[in-house]
Structure 1
């Protein structure tokens, strides 16, 4: 299952899969149209001789021109895609490269041109001139002409899409949308069976009282996926407790402790436990909300670097981070212990609300050293998040982050005017957070 999951993840972020499917589809279509030309009466040739009455030489010439132009444009589209990937890596963050590679429009455009090229080659093979058994698949040739005209439209749209996709707002918005979708999927309004806050104390006591035994990781990399139900079934079947040592998005080295069990492990347990983890060389967003936050934070840090100093892009990132963390603030996060039939079985490793807030704002706050606009935007973002939750523990986390930002700003802002503006805005936004707690 681990290999299947990894294969599906790789397919989604590859440039070859969609074009490959389209090539297969174009070859299938060409065979079907050629068969139709060979077995159906040429009624359309009689009715529309000017359209379908192309000779063998004319058909060959047209399809050859179309095939050559499609291959040229496919190479151009591929070069443009590589160019935007290079620019995005240099201007924003290397973490956004995979987003461009998994862009369905980029994949479709590449697939369209190479599939039309393949279509024309197949049809060219079947054309026979006057010295042989004459056969000109008129319908197939005209279809190739329409595909070529469609290629003009696709190319124009692709150029527009390339220019549009390099805009910072669109990149950040795309990451935000994908991250929010993941939040909605893995943090629904009502979680499955898990220990509530009242049970966390006894759960921690139980965890500390157990004599744990280690099961090591068989590979090194980032944890992309954990089959939590599979771990639960394993714990119930073998009547053991499990304690996860690493959570999704964290790096684990081969030979280090991946998970702990409550008794001496049997010989096959390591293989079975490892089969419930998907560990690979990079992080993915499928189960990793923190990775979505990480990508936006990296863009903000790049924008605030001395060589770029793009405050506006950093502010855009903070705005969308407030949307993501605000959505998390509205959701019930997994408890530290999971139950089966009322009994704790698995102690999980997952980020809490404070972890998400720190990931979103700590590094941006530090990189915004002396930048009033950044500090004000962080304070506003925390206020917006505070409006979306009534949980006192989460409001306390926001207030702590608020105070850290204000203290750092007071220590780094250099003019009295900036200090005055900061105090005025901070007083207003902090009152919003405290009001929500009442």
Structure 2
């Protein structure tokens, strides 16, 4: 899928209005369909089934008017509750959590249900006739409106329960961890063509990744965060054009308009210099997705950042919520342990023994630093945080046998012990840390 189309679709499905909009249209179509059904296949509801359809024109109007009014009122209430939850969570924990509430499917469904029921009642109301000359009451449509109202009671109960649960910090932390680990399972390892074999091609890739000469630069047409790399499209373009493509930014980095986004050069180093056409430059940019915000879909570090924001916010002097910080550290441990156990995909990709794509990505050491350095700094003079970190590092060592990764974890252990020696005030606290 083209990057722009994929980005548009993602923005639509994550927005607060798209699913409610679809449900409103669906409700209007349902209302019109039931009315047309009764026009062509009329039933004598009031006489044959009085318990179900025994409502006259005036009674149907009154009932549907009451349902429409109540549905619109409850829709406004649900919208107010959603905004209140968003305001409280973003202010208390992190503003980066706001999108998690906006793209919540239950919130979108409930708002769509109430507004859709309102639209349905309006559609049916306009067709009811009760004059002496002509009487028309779409019995099935009126009964459906009553059923929608009864379903609205259940939807309201579900919504209130969901909002109350969603605002709990344990739920917020778990959802971040779950979304991030799901992304890890999908991305690590992610095979794109063939990994560049060890030896000559890797040496060549390392030489070219930062080489300034011989490259043609493609600049960004807009500013934003690099959200996704459509790897298959990028490799396919490189193979078709026999070009070596080098990305200048990693997933999650901010790119300014006019900044170098990627660079290309012929795979044959002896080939004369080439010039990219505007269509070729546009095709290359379509392989990358820039947006106003970071997304966890390919950016695991953003999931880590959200948990770190919660931890550092909880450890501020004004909040001083060590329990929340420890809870988030435990969930952060799950993410890093999943990374520690996975082989990272090679940033250099080849096809048929030929190097084609050079990407930039965070190493395990960088992700560990992103996760734990801010926590250690914010948790200074707090022995409970130091003890939790040391226990987390002990768990992490059981998830990897890679020498380099174990060295990274040991370095973090050393930093925690140094911080505890210099920031903890009592010998009792130091003994608790040193006992681990």
TM-score bin (small chain): over 0.9
How far the C-alpha of 1:101 sits from its partner, in A, is 0.2
Per the alignment, residue 297 of structure 1 pairs with: 308
- Matched residues in 2 for 1:166 and 1:121: separation? 34
- Alpha carbons of structure 1 residues 212 and 362: separation in structure 2 relative to 1, 3 Å: farther
Residue 226 of structure 1: which of 226, 229, 244 is its match?
A: 229
Give unmatched runs, 5+ long, in structure 2. 266-272
* CA deviation string 1:232-279 (max 9, x = no partner): 223223323222110110011122222222355423343332222111
- In the superposition, relative to structure 1, how do residues 337 and 210 fare at CA in structure 2: closer, same or farther (>3 Å)? farther
Aligned to 2:407: 396
CA offset at residue 42 of structure 1? 2.3
Deviation at 1:174, TM superposition (A): 0.6
Instruction: Choose the corresponding residue for 1:353, options 332, 356, 364.
Output: 364
* Contact 1:225 1:277 survives alignment (8 Å): yes
Alignment RMSD: 1.9
Equivalence for 1:128: 129
Q: How far is the alpha carbon of 1:58 from its aligned partner?
A: 0.6
- The CA deviation at 1:196 is 5.2
Tell me how far apart the structure 1 counterparts of residues 274 and 419 of structure 2 sit (CA, whole Å): 49
Cα distance between partner residues in 2 of 1:406 and 1:295? 25
CA distance, structure 1, for counterparts of residue 434 and residue 402 of structure 2: 26
Deviation at 1:44, TM superposition (A): 4.5
Q: Distance in 2 between matches of 1:55 and 1:359?
A: 68
Q: Structure 1 length normalisation: TM-score?
A: 0.92
Deviation at 1:2, TM superposition (A): 2.9
Higher helix proportion = 1
Q: Give the equivalent residue in structure 2 for 1:31.
A: 32
After TM superposition, list the pairs within 5 Å mapping 1:98-247 onto structure 2. Answer: 98-188=99-189, 193-195=194-196, 200-205=202-207, 207=209, 211-213=213-215, 214-247=217-250
1:43–1:55: structure 2 CA closer, same or farther, 3 Å change rule? closer
Instruction: Give the aligned partner of residue 80 of structure 2.
Output: 79
Call closer, same or farther: CA 1:67–1:206 in 2, change over 3 Å.
Answer: closer
- Residue 193 of structure 2 contacts residue 349 of structure 2 at CA under 8 Å; is this kept in 1? no
5+ long unaligned stretches in structure 1: 426-438
**Kept in 2: contact 1:337–1:347 (CA 8 A):** yes
Alpha-carbon distance in 2 for matches of 1:4, 1:355 = 32
Q: 3-state DSSP class of the match of 2:117?
A: helix
Aligned residues: 425
CA distance in 2 between partners of 1:41 and 1:270 (Å): 61
Distance 2:35 2:210 in 1: 72
What CA deviation, in whole Å up to 9, does each residue of 1:274-324 have, x standing for no partner?
222111221112211111111111111111112111111111111111111
Q: Distance in 1 between matches of 2:401 and 2:243?
A: 37
Tell me how far 1:209 sits from its aligned partner: 6.6
- The reply to whether residue 339 of structure 1 matches residue 341 of structure 2 is no
SS of equivalent residue, structure 2 residue 195: coil
Secondary structure, in 3 states, of the residue corresponding to 1:126?
coil
SS at match of 2:126: helix
